[in-house]
Chains A and B, each alone.
Chain A
Amino acid sequence: MSQVTLHKVVKNYDETPAVRGIDLDIADKEFVVLVGPSGCGKSTTLRMIAGLEDITDGEIVIGGDVVNDVPPKDRDIAMVFQNYALYPHMTVFENMSFGLRLKRVPKDEIRQRVESAARILDISELLDRKPKQLSGGQRQRVAMGRAIVRDPKVFLFDEPLSNLDAKLRVQMRTEIKKVHQKVRTTTVYVTHDQVEAMTLADRVVVMNAGLIEQVGTPNELYHHPRTRFVAGFIGSPAMNFVPCRLEEASGALRILLPGGHAFPVPAERTERYRRHAGSADLVFGLRPEHVTETHRNVEPNQEAFEVTLEVTEPMGMETLVYFQLDGAEVCGRVNPAAGAEAGQPMTLLADLNHMHLIDGTSGLVL
Chain B
Amino acid sequence: MVDTATKSGAYAGAARPRSSLKRLMQRKSTIAFLLTLPLILIIASLVIYPAFYAVHLATLSKSMTKFVGFGNFTFLFKREVFWMVVQQSCIFAISAVVFKALIGFFVAHFIHAIPTKGQRKWRGMLLVPWVIPPAMSTLAWFWLFDPSYSAINWLLALFGIDPVPFLGNPYWARFSVILVNVWFGAPFFMIMYLAALKSVPEQLYEAAAIDGANWWQRLWYITLPMMRNIISITVMFSLIVTFANFDIVRVLTAGGPIDKTHVFATYAFLLGIQGGDIPLGAAVSLFMVPILGISAIFILRDVTKRGNEA
Please report A residues at the B interface, Cβ cutoff 8 Å.
50-52, 71-73, 77-79, 81, 83, 85-89, 98-99, 102-103, 130, 132, 146, 150
Contact = CB atoms under 8 A, between A and B. Distances in A.
Contact of B211 (A51, A89, A98): A98
Contacts of B226: 88-89
Interface residues of B, number: 22
A51 B214 CA distance: 14
A71 B204 contact: no
Contacts of B306: 89
B211 A88 contact: no
Contacts of B213: 73, 98, 102
A330 B127 CA distance: 62
B310 A132 contact: yes
B309 A99 contact: no
Majority-rule SS of B interface residues: helix
B118 to A, nearest CB: 16
A77 B212 CA distance: 10
Given A81-B206, A87-B204, 12 more contacts: A51-B210, A52-B206, A52-B210, A73-B212, A73-B214, A79-B207, A83-B201, A85-B207, A87-B221, A89-B309, A99-B210, A99-B211
24 contacts: A50-B210, A51-B210, A52-B209, A72-B206, A72-B210, A73-B211, A73-B212, A79-B206, A81-B206, A85-B203, A86-B207, A87-B207, A87-B222, A89-B225, A89-B226, A89-B228, A89-B309, A98-B208, A98-B213, A99-B212, A102-B211, A102-B213, A132-B308, A132-B309
A135 to B, nearest CB: 16
B207 A81 contact: yes
Nearest to A132: B309
B217 interface: yes
Nearest to A75: B210
The 8 closest A-B pairs by CB, nearest first: A99-B211, A73-B212, A85-B203, A85-B207, A89-B225, A102-B212, A72-B209, A72-B210
B203 A83 contact: yes
Could you say which of B204, B206, B207, B308 has the most chain A C-beta atoms within 10 Å of its C-beta? B207
Interface string B207-235: 11111111001000110011010000000
A324 B306 CA distance: 60
Nearest to B217: A102
A85 B211 CA distance: 12
- Best-buried of B201, B209, B225 by chain A (most CB within 10 Å): B209
B209 A85 contact: no
Given A83-B203, A85-B201, A132-B308, A103 B212 contact: yes
B308 to A, nearest CB: 7
Contacts of B203: 81, 83, 85
Contacts of B310: 88-89, 132
B303 to A, nearest CB: 13
A18 B148 CA distance: 64
Nearest to B222: A87
